Structure 1
């Protein structure tokens, strides 16, 4: 078992994250580490310490983003054997390709089909929209009864970020929360074509490099692009706090003390960005089918991309990217590190309203925050079959082993995980320090409740689904299509949404 220090490390993030945390999650469970904003623990005989013989065997189905793994069955078997004497559950891991995950979850939620756990975020399986639709259970009582270890580890700011209208509907996964926009150039190409990494401050600085790649590497795609859109990958570079969710009109400059809400799609920044995308598309930097491509993960794995985009700067991030692509990559930050509510809710786990066993689902989440063996089974698979140990803290994936999700950040407390080959001991502690040192957005702690404008938000989603892929892959002329896009957003109710956002922010500011 991976050993972690039991020393409590104080984390102070401008007050809202002022809660001591334990890296191991294995400390004294009597220390709940909470505040008035944290779910209060309750005494119950039905907590996770219940004897397994008193727990009826149940099935738990968990949907999440990721490439389906060939040998998931053996991992499920190992997990279920491990959990038999702890929770007496049979877990079913349902990875769904990145580009199809949203549609899969929309169909699943609309059908009322039973499932238990699901990955949710502001950018995938949209958290706010699903809360509005009633797809997720409120978790406050379940957390208080069945999640003492999560309560012990989770900084108070995590709970605040997850609240919608005062209630918690998903548990934030504990990992890198600070957001730093990032580009991942293939090191071999960067060296070959003289990329001046130190002077890449924004995407526009890549143009000369991408021109060289296009001319000299006919078998490579110069830069990644797909229909999910790219503006979200430069949002921090443009100093926006995307508090309402991806592609929902409404941002605030993270350093604007006036807290004025802007429509990002009407901003000079967005106009400049889509113009750059059009230029790049015309120069052949993207796949020809980028506007309709649901998932570019296969291109990542095949090392067909000279530059990968998305994610955030974090210790060991380049190691994770090498594990995915098989190639050394550079990790180029293009923004400050900023702590926002949207950064915290960028990776969470919800419990479905259709779950037949929500108590057991919460017990499982709680154990993932505490139990390093369970966490590493889900994140990395079986030792000797899917990975080998380099030392007590570091592992290396076995090639073609059949299980390497490479998405550790989806499964609870990432700081319970082994380091990957190439990562350094202490990277988890350094990650927490990055969270601590990050610039705090002026909106940190604010959660938007879209209920009053849920009809408009739904109408806007239809419009953005039509225009964002076209504009953000440069497939259409922004001089014509951007004004058309903005006009349709207004008809769908974007101005009303902006007004409601400003109203809630003003009330939040007045209450501080």
Structure 2
């Protein structure tokens, strides 16, 4: 749909709906809803009051950011009389920073969310995000039509939708990438890797054979992320009710049983391997304190989501060709279907306008690619209508395409096949579907235990991920499990099992 047709759609739909008995949000939201509804054509859109929105997401700040954001705002101003303040937060700090803001009821409008970042389930349940169930068809009709009802079902909490799902790869298959040139140089066979510890022979050789100043951060430990969860698809596991709070189940079992994923041989092997990585100098010694990392020095890294064309993505990140090592088969789960979403804060004074911005990022291909790729002729050049090439002097991006709107509108580059998005859609359709697909956990009865358990996970995570506990790792691991017990993890697991059982029983 063209941008003019889409804007016309906004106001035509709103005008019709204003004649019905539909109830919109109260207070200032009603004022804006009525104002939008009063318009009937894009030529009258200037009657929309000018608003500025705050949009939070994670990423690394680049010198060219503001120029690109100014270009985006020029378009938004013309189309919906709106400007957006785009605010990047460092990846590892995102959940903590945003949680503090949300708890303090700080005013903002849009934010990236998922089960792993700013826990979608928890924040939706406690009223941090606007219920957009009825607003989506009104203010983002094309976005709503992009996804099948079964995909939207994955976003429901107590039967309601609290964030817009970004169109991207929904099936999940995890893996690793390793530097191709050095793997070839040291005769390393990437197909030999079945688990994290299998990378050690390769990284040991690189550590011994390359200059010391190039080998101080050979493995990307992603210190503050839920890296262990990356490997869930290869175990055929999935998180129940968000990844910060322990509780997982086997996706394909006929009667899934909930367990504490941290109290498993798999997790213990994970942290003991990372302890070895740290002792061998394969992970940066100052991982917990250094402000920045050099992605070009990583000779191996975990990948949360493999997809068609992933080779080009990791090549751009690490500035070198990579071998891709898949683990397991693709699985479609509810947490994976909503792994990247955009929510509207209940502190927003303009939720309808925020949803209009989401609509434009999903439907306006030029606007979307400006946000992802930057400015044509400055950050990239076009090879064809849909293929681009980054320019050497680029000061922006490319940004994470899956973080905003509809990634299937993204330009392709490098070794990505021309039909990469068609292949991605096909993978979404062909993946194994979890028995728990559509399940949504209600945290209400265990809010305190869940919050206490999440706090403990976050207390230990970074040190576990970077092997910083050293020879005390096993001792700290036992301490970690004991603290979870004290926090009430058994009650959390029991409640999760109860709800899973009820969901499975209802399907039979």
TM-score with structure 2 setting the length:
0.88
Identify which of 462, 470, 473 aligns with 1:469: 462
Segment of structure 1 superposing worse, 234-243 or 354-363:
234-243
Alpha-carbon contact 1:322-1:329 (below 8 Å) kept:
yes
Q: Distance in 2 between matches of 1:157 and 1:293?
A: 43
Q: How far does residue 105 in structure 1 lie from its aligned partner after superposition?
A: 1.0
Name 1:227's counterpart in structure 2. Answer: 224
Q: Given the superposition, is the C-alpha separation of residues 511 and 25 from structure 1 closer, same or farther in structure 2, using an over 3 Å criterion?
A: farther
Identify which of 406, 416, 427 aligns with 1:423: 416
1:285-324 paired onto structure 2 within 5 Å = 285-290=282-287, 292=288, 298-300=293-295, 303-324=296-317
Q: How far does residue 229 in structure 1 lie from its aligned partner after superposition?
A: 4.9
Q: Given the superposition, is the C-alpha separation of residues 446 and 377 from structure 1 closer, same or farther in structure 2, using an over 3 Å criterion?
A: same
Name 1:453's counterpart in structure 2. Answer: 446
Is 1:44 matched up with 2:17?
Answer: yes
Q: Given the superposition, is the C-alpha separation of residues 320 and 49 from structure 1 closer, same or farther in structure 2, using an over 3 Å criterion?
A: farther
Identify which of 488, 493, 504 aligns with 2:499: 504
Identify which of 125, 133, 136 aligns with 2:126: 133
Name 1:346's counterpart in structure 2. Answer: 339
1:474-485 paired onto structure 2 within 5 Å = 474-476=467-469, 477-485=472-480
Name structure 1 gaps, 5 residues minimum.
Answer: 1-23, 33-39
Alpha-carbon contact 1:69-1:405 (below 8 Å) kept:
no
Alpha-carbon contact 2:231-2:304 (below 8 Å) kept:
no
Name 1:150's counterpart in structure 2. Answer: 143
Segment of structure 1 superposing worse, 436-445 or 168-177:
436-445
Name 1:244's counterpart in structure 2. Answer: 241
Alpha-carbon RMSD: 2.3
Deviations 1:127-166 (A, max 9, x none): 1232233221111121132111012111223211111111
Segment of structure 1 superposing worse, 105-114 or 354-363:
105-114
Name 1:5's counterpart in structure 2. Answer: none
Q: Given the superposition, is the C-alpha separation of residues 85 and 395 from structure 1 closer, same or farther in structure 2, using an over 3 Å criterion?
A: same
Alpha-carbon contact 1:178-1:339 (below 8 Å) kept:
yes
Q: Distance in 1 between matches of 2:290 and 2:429?
A: 35
Q: Given the superposition, is the C-alpha separation of residues 25 and 251 from structure 1 closer, same or farther in structure 2, using an over 3 Å criterion?
A: farther
Q: Given the superposition, is the C-alpha separation of residues 195 and 42 from structure 1 closer, same or farther in structure 2, using an over 3 Å criterion?
A: farther
Alpha-carbon contact 1:150-1:369 (below 8 Å) kept:
yes
Q: Given the superposition, is the C-alpha separation of residues 364 and 60 from structure 1 closer, same or farther in structure 2, using an over 3 Å criterion?
A: same
Segment of structure 1 superposing worse, 46-55 or 382-391:
46-55
Deviations 1:296-325 (A, max 9, x none): 6x321xx11111223311112121222222
Q: Distance in 1 between matches of 2:487 and 2:192?
A: 41
Q: How far does residue 41 in structure 1 lie from its aligned partner after superposition?
A: 10
Q: Given the superposition, is the C-alpha separation of residues 25 and 311 from structure 1 closer, same or farther in structure 2, using an over 3 Å criterion?
A: farther
Alpha-carbon contact 2:109-2:354 (below 8 Å) kept:
yes
1:211-222 paired onto structure 2 within 5 Å = 211-217=204-210, 218=212, 219-220=214-215, 221-222=217-218
Between Structure 1 and Structure 2, which shows a larger proportion of helix residues?
2
Name structure 2 gaps, 5 residues minimum.
Answer: 19-35
Q: How far does residue 233 in structure 1 lie from its aligned partner after superposition?
A: 2.3
Q: Distance in 2 between matches of 1:344 and 1:293?
A: 34
Alpha-carbon contact 2:344-2:351 (below 8 Å) kept:
yes
Q: How far does residue 436 in structure 1 lie from its aligned partner after superposition?
A: 1.2
Q: How far does residue 487 in structure 1 lie from its aligned partner after superposition?
A: 1.0
Deviations 1:223-279 (A, max 9, x none): 111233531222222221123222311111112112111111112222222222222
Alpha-carbon contact 2:246-2:489 (below 8 Å) kept:
yes
Q: Given the superposition, is the C-alpha separation of residues 479 and 96 from structure 1 closer, same or farther in structure 2, using an over 3 Å criterion?
A: closer
Number of aligned residues = 475
